[in-house]
Amino acid sequence: MSAAADGDTIRIAKGNYHTANARGAWQVAKSVTIIGGYDETEDAAGKPSENPSATILYGNRIPDGNGKTTRVMSIIGTADRIIRVTVENLTMTGGNGTYDVYASGRGGGLYNRYSETVLRGVVISGNTASDDGSNDAFGGGICNEMAVLTITGNSVIRNNIASAGGVGSAFGGGISNSGRLAVDGNTRIENNTASVGTGAGSGGGIFSSGETAKLFVSHSVIIGNKAVDNPSGDQEASGGGIDNTAGAYAELAVGTVVKDNIATTGLGTGFGGGVSNTFASTLLFFAGLVTSNTAISNLSNTAEARGGGIYNDNLSTLEWEDLTAFIHSNTATAGSGTSTGTDIYSKYAYNVFFPVVEHITSDREIRTHAVKNGGTFWFTLKTDSDYKDQTQLVLANDRPLTPSDSMGDGMYQYTLTITEDVVFYIAFKSIITLPDIPLMPGFTLTPDPGEYITRSDDTFTFSLQKEKKYKGIEPVVRIGETLLLPSGIEGDTIYRYSLLAKEDADIQITTNRHVVMLSDPPQGLSLTTDQPLVYATANNTFAFTLNVTDDQFKHILPTVLVNGISTMPTGKNDGSYRYILDIRGYTDVQIEFKHHSVTVPYSPMSVTMNRVPGRYDIQSDSAFNFTLTVTDSKLADIAPFVAVNGSPLLFSGKQGSFIYLYSLKTTEDVLIRIEADYYAVTFAAPPESVAAVTPEPGEYFAFVGTDFTFTLNPKEQYLDAYLEVVAGNDTIYPVRDSNGQFTMSLSGLRKDISVTAFLFYKVVIHPSIFIDMDILPGEHKVVPGSDLIFKLKPYEQYTNIVPTVIVNGDIWQLPPVESDGWYTISLPATKDTDIQIQLLPEASLFPANAVKMYSSGGSLAIESAAGEIPVTVTTLAGRVKARQKVTGTKSIALPAGIYIVRAGIETRKITVR
Same domain, 185 and 36: yes
**In this predicted structure, which of 221-235, 628-642, 678-692 has the lowest mean pLDDT?**
678-692
CATH value at residue 785: 2.60.40
Q: Is residue 847 part of a domain?
A: no
Q: Say if CB 700 and CB 681 are below 8 A apart.
A: yes
Secondary structure (3-state) at 552: helix
pLDDT recorded at residue 143: 98
Same domain, 329 and 442: no
Q: Is residue 843 part of a domain?
A: no
Q: Which of 676, 700, 719 is the last residue of a domain?
A: 676
Q: Which residues pair with 516 in a beta bridge?
A: 534, 587
| Largest distance between two CA atoms of the chain | 149
Strands lying side by side in the sheet with 275-277? 26-28, 73-76, 110-113, 142-145, 175-177, 206-209, 242-245, 275-277, 310-312, 344-345
pLDDT recorded at residue 798: 83
In sign, the C-alpha dihedral spanning 22, 28, 32, 35 is: positive
Distance CA 299, CA 314 (A): 28
Same domain, 225 and 313: yes
User: pTM value?
Assistant: 0.51
Distance CA 691, CA 759 (A): 11
Q: Which of 567, 593, 619 is the last residue of a domain?
A: 593
Average pLDDT, rounded, for the chain = 88
pLDDT recorded at residue 202: 98
Same domain, 29 and 51: yes
Nearest to 245 by CA among 176, 192, 307: 176
Length of the chain, in residues: 913
Distance CA 201, CA 441 (A): 71
Distance CA 643, CA 604 (A): 14
Distance CA 574, CA 406 (A): 68
Residue 537, pLDDT > 70, answer no
Distance CA 126, CA 91 (A): 10
Distance CA 581, CA 516 (A): 10
Secondary structure (3-state) at 340: strand
Distance CA 340, CA 150 (A): 35
Strands lying side by side in the sheet with 214-217? 9-13, 33-38, 83-88, 115-120, 148-152, 180-183, 214-217, 249-252, 282-285, 317-320
Residue 535, pLDDT > 80, answer no
Confidence of residue 843 (pLDDT cuts 50, 70, 90): very low
Q: Say if CB 180 and CB 112 are below 8 A apart.
A: no
pLDDT recorded at residue 356: 83
pLDDT recorded at residue 44: 64
* Chain segment 802-841, per-residue pLDDT in tens: 888 999 888 888 899 998 899 999 999 889 999 999 886 5
Residue 129, pLDDT > 70, answer yes
Q: Say if CB 833 and CB 825 are below 8 A apart.
A: no
Same domain, 558 and 694: no
Q: Say if CB 296 and CB 264 are below 8 A apart.
A: yes
Mean pLDDT of 282-304: 96
Q: Is residue 845 part of a domain?
A: no
- As to burial, measured by CB atoms within 10 angstroms (0-12 exposed, 13-18 middle, 19+ buried), residue 364 is middle
Same domain, 279 and 224: yes
Same domain, 683 and 660: no
DSSP 8-class letter at 253: -
Cis peptide before 734 (omega within 30 of 0): no
Q: Is residue 62 part of a domain?
A: yes
Residue 847, pLDDT > 70, answer no
Q: Which of 346, 372, 406 is the last residue of a domain?
A: 346
Q: Say if CB 240 and CB 263 are below 8 A apart.
A: yes
Residue 122, pLDDT > 70, answer yes
Q: What are phi and psi of 364, to 5 degrees?
A: -100, 140
H helices of 470-576, in order, are none
- As to burial, measured by CB atoms within 10 angstroms (0-12 exposed, 13-18 middle, 19+ buried), residue 813 is exposed
Residue 491 makes CB contacts below 8 A (sequence gap 6+) with none
Same domain, 76 and 53: yes
Distance CA 315, CA 244 (A): 13
Secondary structure (3-state) at 470: helix
Secondary structure (3-state) at 493: coil
- CB-side neighbour CA atoms (13 Å) of 885: 2
Q: Say if CB 617 and CB 552 are below 8 A apart.
A: yes
Strands 242-245 and 9-13, bridge-based pairing: unpaired
Q: What are phi and psi of 732, to 5 degrees?
A: -125, 145
* Chain segment 176-187, per-residue pLDDT in tens: 999 999 999 999
pLDDT recorded at residue 698: 82
Q: What are phi and psi of 501, to 5 degrees?
A: -80, 105
DSSP 8-class letter at 850: S
Q: Which residues pair with 249 in a beta bridge?
A: 214, 282
Confidence of residue 66 (pLDDT cuts 50, 70, 90): low
Strands 565-567 and 559-562, bridge-based pairing: antiparallel
Q: Is residue 622 part of a domain?
A: yes
Mean pLDDT of 185-211: 97
Secondary structure (3-state) at 98: helix
Q: Is residue 175 part of a domain?
A: no
Quote the percentage of the chain above a pLDDT of 90. Answer: 51
Same domain, 335 and 355: no
Same domain, 480 and 562: no
Same domain, 229 and 287: yes
Mean pLDDT of 429-455: 83
In 128-211, beta strands by DSSP E: 128-130, 137-138, 142-145, 148-152, 156-158, 161-163, 170-171, 175-177, 180-183, 188-190, 193-195, 201-202, 206-209
* Chain segment 332-381, per-residue pLDDT in tens: 999 999 999 889 998 778 888 888 888 899 998 888 888 888 889 999 99
Nearest to 650 by CA among 636, 662, 632, 637: 662
Q: What are phi and psi of 718, to 5 degrees?
A: -120, 30
Q: Is residue 844 part of a domain?
A: no
Distance CA 805, CA 824 (A): 12
Residue 842, pLDDT > 60, answer no
pLDDT recorded at residue 45: 67
Same domain, 6 and 86: yes
pLDDT recorded at residue 586: 76
Q: Is residue 716 part of a domain?
A: yes
pLDDT recorded at residue 844: 38
- CB-side neighbour CA atoms (13 Å) of 403: 14
User: What is the total count of domains within the chain?
Assistant: 9
Residue 621, pLDDT > 90, answer no
Distance CA 600, CA 613 (A): 5
Distance CA 344, CA 104 (A): 36
Mean pLDDT of 859-872: 85
Residue 438, pLDDT > 60, answer no
Domain range for residue 360? 350-428
**In this predicted structure, which of 238-242, 368-372, 568-572 has the lowest mean pLDDT?**
368-372
